Chains A and B, each alone.
Chain A
Amino acid sequence: MAELFVGREDEFEDRGRKVIAHGDLEIGVFFVDGGFYAYENKCVHQGGPVCQGRILNRVVEMISDDKTSQGLAWSEDDVHIVCPWHGYEFNLKTGVHPGYKNARLRPFDVKLKDGEVYVVT
């Protein structure tokens, strides 16, 4: 087990990130809604650099009580990372694809120490 230095806590803005490499291992560390989350920079689809994709809120469809569609909107809660190779999306807090639970990013623990951020591998 090793601790990899990522950066200082105050370097992360909300929805900010750092993507680091240690040898062959690449890890994306994200700061979302006051929490840190870390995943391997490797998409479960075809191995793309998922952590270097765009961060966008999940798109939701608004269905009214009578089951009719009222159009699309941005989710207020769910933030996604989008793989830049093919568009696979994953919830940044869970690492899971919105419609396929078997598609999930490899997570890493994040450790905060004296204002500094580390990932544990």
Chain B
Amino acid sequence: MDSGVEQTRELPQEIDTKTDTRDILARETKYQKDKGFHDWTIVDVDAHHSEMSSWREVVEYLDDPILKHYAQEFQARTGGAPGLSNHMPGLRYQDAGGRIPHQTHMGEAVDDSANHRDITLIRRSMDAMGLDHQILFPGNLLQLGTHPQPRVEAHLALAYNRWVCERILPVDDRVKTLLYLPISEPDMCMKIIKEFGDNPNVSGFMITAVRYKPVHHNQFIPIYRELEERGLPLAFHAGLTWGDDWMKQLDLFISMHAISFVLCNIVHMTNWIIHGMQERFPKLDVIWIESGLAWLAFLMQRLDSEYLMRPSEAPLLKKLPSEYMADMYYTCQPIETSNMALTEETFKAVKAETQLLYASDWPHWDFNPPSTIYDLPFLDEQAKRNILGENAVKLFGIDTKKPRTA
């Protein structure tokens, strides 16, 4: 007789810092198959690995013998990171007091000794989230723009770039990067662009937005000119700092993170627009990364209003600031959706169907899986396909027919 009781299987009780990435993201894997978008082309334009876990390897790529000695001595005394870096201990609150386990430790077992551990972790996340291609960035090095020693920033940037291009990127054709440009040292930037500009795994270059030099300064112009001539995109990757005077008033991580990650790009975008950089470099593709989207509608209206009253202070402009902003590219993460009507209007304002790029930000605490875009109620299928992958395919010239090595 049927008892009416059905059998079940038991799942792990708790996801922790040692849980396999594929298990953490299993719901996304299944959701994509259920909804039928697992075979769409999905390009993740912002994901991270933890270069500090490989810091011992990275500093070996320093070509300055004295800085290298300092870094090695730090390791001998402290066991490795963060020698030479300027990472603030107070910024290690991303896991909300241990509540969000997938960023801070990443202690899952890896049995693939043939490849660097980072490659295995990257592949696991890409497979779990159905990603075809990924743009990879460092983690703590995004703070380097405020390093009190610009020369150290420049040499660490070069060392990291050489390490990631030699040890990480060649292993998997699906993984590319926008390489770090330490713009405090323009000569080093030019050296880096010349050394890596033709590297097939380098899709463009990136300026960390947490820094205090105005991006329109004449000393940076040759960098932008070189990138435009080479047809390589330039990205501004947002970040956070508690060292900024305004941020010092925000005494909780939630507050500082909410504002600092946006404020840096608001400042750089304002300078970029008002000083006519889009007129000076009309063929340079510019991408704004990891500030979310809500700031864009605000800044568009704000700058338009000011410009209409004071055009003499922005004489290079031939159209409204919001029109220049709609010509640039944006990554979606961390997307704000608590008011879907505002989200929809923002999508219209930035012409999301052609200008918005999906980004996961995995493994960070506020990551967005691809379903975040797929589930938006106001997008048709083509818009979803564009944002999840097609826009990035066009922007970076990704060959989607090339066989994958993975």
Q: Is the CB of B5 within 8 A of A118?
A: yes
Residues of the A chain whose Cβ atoms lie less than 8 Å from the Cβ of B24: 49, 84-85
Query: Which B residues contact A (CB, under 8 angstroms)?
Result: 4-15, 24, 26-28, 30-31, 34, 96, 98-102, 365-369, 371-372
Interface range on chain A (Cβ under 8 Å from partner): 20 to 34
Residues in chain B near residue A20, CB distance under 8 A = 8-11
Dominant SS at the B interface?
Answer: loop
**Whole-angstrom distance between the Cβ of B222 and the nearest chain A Cβ:** 42
A interface list, Cβ under 8 A from B: 2-6, 17-22, 24, 26, 41-42, 46-49, 52-54, 56, 82, 84-87, 89, 118
Q: Which B residues lie within 8 Å of A6 (CB)?
A: 8
Between A and B, 18 residue pairs with Cβ closer than 8 Å are: A18-B10, A18-B13, A20-B8, A20-B9, A20-B10, A21-B9, A42-B27, A46-B368, A49-B15, A53-B14, A56-B99, A84-B14, A84-B15, A85-B100, A86-B365, A87-B99, A87-B100, A89-B99
Chain A residues with CB under 8 Å of B101's CB are 54, 84
Nearest-neighbour CB distance to chain A for B396, whole angstroms, equals: 26
5 shortest A-B CB distances, which residue pairs?
Answer: A20-B8, A19-B11, A84-B15, A82-B99, A52-B15
Check A46–B371 contact: CB distance below 8 A: yes
Known: A47-B31, A84-B24. A19 touches B13 (CB 8 A): yes
* A19 nearest CB across to chain B (Å): 4
Contacts known (A42-B27, A47-B28, A86-B365); A4 close to B13, Cβ less than 8 A: no
Give A41 to B26 CA distance when docked, in angstroms.
12
Contacts of A48 in B (CB 8 A): 27
The distance in angstroms between the C-alpha atoms of A1 and B214, with both chains bound, is 64
Please, how many angstroms separate the alpha-carbon atoms of A54 and B13 in the complex? 9
Q: Tell me if B100 and A84 are in contact (CB < 8 A).
A: yes
Measured in the bound complex, the distance between the Cα atoms of B30 and A52 in whole Å is 17
